[in-house]
Structure 1
Amino acid sequence: MSDKEITTALNLINQRQARLASACKEIADWIDRQGDVPVAGKIRDTLKAVEADDQLVRKTLTSLSVERPLPRFR
């Protein structure tokens, strides 16, 4: 697998993770409206770990996209 393919795959995984996190937030909001605040709180607490890692993931993906291989010397 090439570097470009790896970067593309990682970006896709990151996008899917963001969509799943968004869906979980919507579920937590719905559960909250149904009156089960403790369960909604547990979902939100779990999502905090995902959000905490978001900046590191973005930084890593950006560095993968920007880094270029060193020139080869003969």
Structure 2
Amino acid sequence: MSEREITTLITLMNQRQACLSSACKEIADWIDRQGDIPAAGKIRASLKALEAEDAQVRKTLTSLNIERPLPRFRS
């Protein structure tokens, strides 16, 4: 896998993570409006944990060093 492919994959993973987080926020808001505040709170607590780690994940992903050539594993 080339460096460009890896970068594309990481970008796609980050975009999907953002979309899933957004969807979960909308679900939490809907549940909150339905009156189940404890369930909505649990979803929001999980999202806060993801958001707290976001900066570290981005920093780690962008600092990955790719050795050339990539090692091939024999099966």
TM-score, with length taken from structure 2? 0.77
Please name the residue that 2:72 is paired with: none
In the alignment, is the contact (CA less than 8 A) between 1:28 and 1:40 conserved in 2? yes
Which structure 2 residue ranges, 5 or more long, are not aligned? 68-75
**Corresponding residue of 2:56:** 56
Structure 1 match to 2:32: 32
- Identity, % of aligned pairs? 73
Partner residue in 1 for 2:47 = 47
TM-score where L is the length of structure 1: 0.78
Distance 1:5 1:56 in 2: 22
Whole-Å Cα distance in 2 between the matches of residues 14 and 57 of structure 1? 9
Residues 26-62 of structure 1: per-residue CA shift (max 9 Å, x gap): 1000100100000000000111111011112222344
C-alpha RMSD of the superposition: 1.8
Between 1 and 2, higher relative CO (CA 8 Å, sep ≥ 6) is seen in 1
